[in-house]
Amino acid sequence: MLKKERAKLILERLNSLYPETPIPLNHRNNFELLVAVLLSAQCTDKRVNQVTPALFALASRAMDMQNVALERIYQIVRPCGLAPQKSKAISNLSKILVEKHSGEVPEDMQMLEALPGVGHKTASVVMSQAFGHPAFPVDTHIHRLAQRWGLTKGHNVTQTERDLKKLFPRQYWNRLHLQIIFYGREFCTARGCDGRVCELCSSCYPNRKKPFIARKA
């Protein structure tokens, strides 16, 4: 099966399985989304959703968060891991948003990436889910599945993102990003599938005999 044929099969199956793609991180505005995505680095969405209600009860906008003591932020976000870095980033980016962007999350990739603790993946999620701009955020999980399905030979998430953007039309990027995440959690987990178990892995490579070892991002 050619790569384009695998991509077509995958897109059709994911559209069938996940016609709706609700954003898994609970939020009420763009600032809350930005903070939630920042917290989700090396942390599950479930844990983030357990932590953010207390944080957003204190401050749901940059204008208010800039005045919250760093230690208070730290104590709340501690269960998410990397709490010293994340709490400092939340405090500092809140101040920057107020000073440079009137307290609003900017609708600009470069401006987002310039904020403390906001890398390309986080900025891409905000651009796609908050503002609706076509983006294809790739984390380690999407990187792993894209390799299992033969969509990329990328050695890192940057290369994998480029490969996926070439394979799939722009109008599918935002939804497909979430669909792959949903499928990976439900059917093609890191330990539950070795590239031969789930429906999409076995459909893409029906003759695969040995476990597939994905390159780490």
Catalytic residue among 121, 165, 166, 210: 121
- Exactly one of 64, 139, 209, 210 is catalytic; which is it? 139
- Location of structure tokens 């999980």: 141
45 tagged catalytic: no
Active site includes 139? yes
What is the spatial distance between Cα 161 and Cα 155, in angstroms, rounded to a whole number?
A: 11
Whole-number Å distance between alpha carbons of 193 and 184: 9
- Residue 125, sorted as left (phi over 0), alpha (psi -120 to 50) or beta, turns out to be alpha
Rounded to whole angstroms, the Cα distance separating 98 from 179 reads 34
The torsion angle over the Cα atoms of residues 107, 163, 178 and 86, rounded to 10 degrees, is: -60
> By the 8 A CB rule, do 147 and 212 touch?
yes
Instruction: Supply the residues annotated as catalytic.
Output: 121, 139
